[in-house]
Chain A
Amino acid sequence: MKENHNLNELQEIAKRLRLHVVDMIAPSGQGYVQQGLGAADIFTSLYFAEATMDPANPNWEDRDRIFLTTAHNTAIFYATLAERGFFPVKELATYVNDGSTLEINSSERMGTFVEATCGSLGQGLSVAIGCALSAKRQGRSSRFYVILGDGEMQEGQIWEAAMFAGAKGLDNLCLIVDYNFVQSEGSMDKVMSLEPLMEKMQSFNFDCHEVDGNDIASLLNTFTKVRETKNKPSFIKANTLMGKGVPSLEGLMFHQLRFPEEVARSARAELEAE
């Protein structure tokens, strides 16, 4: 089932998720803080408004499926899953501890809400397409959302998969690229530009949308359009700001942010003051 929240409530949820990200990464002193803060509004919009799912029955066959293929962006992912009710929020405190299932790269050993094990970049889109094909054949109403990293789109398999989805007109598939413009070795344009990305995806027969990935209302409007699109897969270029919501971190382009105690404390205070 879908969650039903108004915009204010969704913004409150996004803030709560951001606080979790800070609290989860602070103990280890470094991690994917910036990506987690940047993607919080995408996760909120998807899990708390758009997607139909049932945390009490995570194996429900007609659920919508969300694939996080940048499987290292886990602080925000686990915070979202816990707040959505897939496991207790207190387990977030075990993030990246030895023996915890809350590993840096998410693994399906946590449960089926990790729809595939995607730490090896570029694979999740194909898996989602396989699921989307099966759903079509089985007459299921499920929809398939894939959150891709921008750097991840440099993987060749993404383009094999995009070619397939476009050629088959898979309209139950929605690909969202978290366009934060940073990959491991720096900014996208310095390492390997994807531009013109919209034109590329259009030429692969995707229905394409570009949105502010930190604007929940815009994201929701786009999801509505995507749901109504027929005979084409959809592509959302969601432009996100690294560190969004924490003014002292916004725009700092660190793939792995060092997160000393002072910075973490300030981040928490800035989020709470908002």
Chain B
Amino acid sequence: MTTLTQLEAADFINRSFKPLPRAYGDALVEAALGDQRIVTLCADLVPPTETDRFRDELPERFHNVGIAEANMIGLAGGMARSGEIPFCHSFCAFITKRVLDQITMQAAYPNLPVKIVGFLPGIATLLGVSHQAIEDIAIMRAVPNMAIFEPSGPEYHAAMVQLALEWDGPAYLRMKRPETTPTAFTPMPLEIGKGVVRREGTDITIISAGLCVHESLNAAELLSQKGIESRVIDMASIKPIDVDLIIESAIKTKAVITAENHSVIGGLGSAVAEVLMDEGIGIPFKRIGIQDQFCEGGTTPYLMRKFGIDADAITRAATAVIQRKKSK
């Protein structure tokens, strides 16, 4: 068999990289071109956090701090105190759990515009438990002044930058790199504290965020085939949450389920439950999410199925909740 020269091997390797869209990274650069205050920090995960274009085009406003997340959040606090708007990047697991103290004391307590941007949301990674963040929303939701935004797909990535900038204080963006080029899609406008109704229905409301929005929309199709019409809400603004839309939907459909790529403890489902309880709305309700367990590495569709957060799981839960609603 003929072997390759080093040059040929390198050529094959270079051509094997498929450039993926980086809607978030592009939007961040565009925003920074128009706003001198924006700076970018990264803890040595530049392409995985889509910050390579920023690094190359605005090097004087970019710092790779090395694998040192705690220092990164501290630097960001200092920069934000000095009138800048730092966007800090790592994986969700590290940029929330590893540096929670730094985030609370150097970003949230002083209410500074430090933007915490994590990739690899929830279980969506091959890299396994160390890199999975199934409790990050629960943790960040409990931090005063902190906003949390999660896009349902790449078409909403640009809006994430806009929401982060519109929020005066610290914000957590829970991002997911696209694995393929997404199909053309016109996003609906996002607003802080507003959910987006992605599908109308009167039998049940499915409130979802992130990766689970598409699963919820698919579930709604499956349910529709059985004569159940679902209202599907994309709660991209997890905190502040759209209280009015939750109440209105609960009253309208008299059954609610939530679906999220996160533990059922403390995340979107808990946030919705808190609203319903505070309002005294007792209706059939179910949270779809990771059932208080650690997961494992794998492809995202495999994991979503195995850990019960895919369209089938949502469909089953919705069917059961509808049964409870009928027997009420």
Mark A106-150 against chain B: 1 for CB-CB distance below 8 A, else 0: 001000000111111011111111111111011000000000000
* Contact with A131, one of B68, B79, B102 (Cβ below 8 angstroms): B79
A134/B84 contact (C-beta < 8 A), A127-B106, A129-B78, A161-B74 known: yes
A130/B110 contact (C-beta < 8 A), A137-B61, A160-B68, A163-B66 known: no
A132/B65 contact (C-beta < 8 A), A120-B101, A157-B71 known: no
A126/B101 contact (C-beta < 8 A), A157-B70, A160-B70 known: no
A130 touches B105 (CB 8 A): no
- Interface size of B by CB at 8 A reads 29
Give the shortest distance, in Å, between A205 (CB) and chain B (any CB): 14
Is A164 close to B, CB under 8 A?
A: yes
Give the shortest distance, in Å, between B227 (CB) and chain A (any CB): 56
Give the shortest distance, in Å, between A66 (CB) and chain B (any CB): 13
Give the shortest distance, in Å, between A197 (CB) and chain B (any CB): 19
Give the shortest distance, in Å, between A169 (CB) and chain B (any CB): 14
A130/B66 contact (C-beta < 8 A), A116-B110, A125-B74, A164-B71 known: no
A160 touches B77 (CB 8 A): no
Mark B40-83 against chain A: 1 for CB-CB distance below 8 A, else 0: 00000000000000000000110101101011111111111111
* Contact with B71, one of A116, A126, A134 (Cβ below 8 angstroms): A126
Give A161 to B102 CA distance when docked, in angstroms.
13
B71 touches A161 (CB 8 A): yes
Ordered nearest first, which 5 A-B pairs have the shortest CB separation? A130-B78, A126-B74, A134-B82, A160-B71, A130-B75
Enumerate chain B interface residues (CB-CB to A < 8 A): 39, 60-61, 63, 65-66, 68, 70-84, 86, 101-102, 105-106, 109-110
If A123-B101, A130-B82 are given as contacts, then 14 extra A-B residue pairs at C-beta distance below 8 Å, sorted by A number, are A108-B110, A117-B109, A123-B105, A126-B72, A126-B106, A127-B75, A129-B78, A130-B74, A130-B80, A131-B82, A137-B84, A157-B71, A160-B65, A163-B68
Enumerate chain A interface residues (CB-CB to B < 8 A): 61, 108, 115-120, 122-135, 137-138, 156-157, 160-161, 163-164
